Structure 1
Amino acid sequence: MTTQAPETKIVEKSKIACDGGEGALGHPRVWLHISEEDGYVECPYCDAKYVLKGREAA
Structure 2
Amino acid sequence: MTTQAPETKIVESFRIACDGGDGALGHPRVWLQIPLETGFVECPYCDAKYVQAGFEGKV
TM bucket by the smaller chain?
over 0.9
Unmatched segments (≥5 aa) in structure 1: none
Distance 1:5 1:56 in 2: 18
Where do 4+ consecutive residues of structure 1 move more than 3 Å? none
Structure 2 length normalisation: TM-score?
Answer: 0.94
**1:30 corresponds to 2:30:** yes
Percent identity, aligned pairs only, is 76
- The number of residues matched between the two structures is 58
Unmatched segments (≥5 aa) in structure 2: none
Q: Considering only aligned residues, what root-mean-square deviation do their CA atoms show, in Å? A: 0.6
SS at 1:54 equivalent? helix
Structure 1 length normalisation: TM-score?
Answer: 0.96
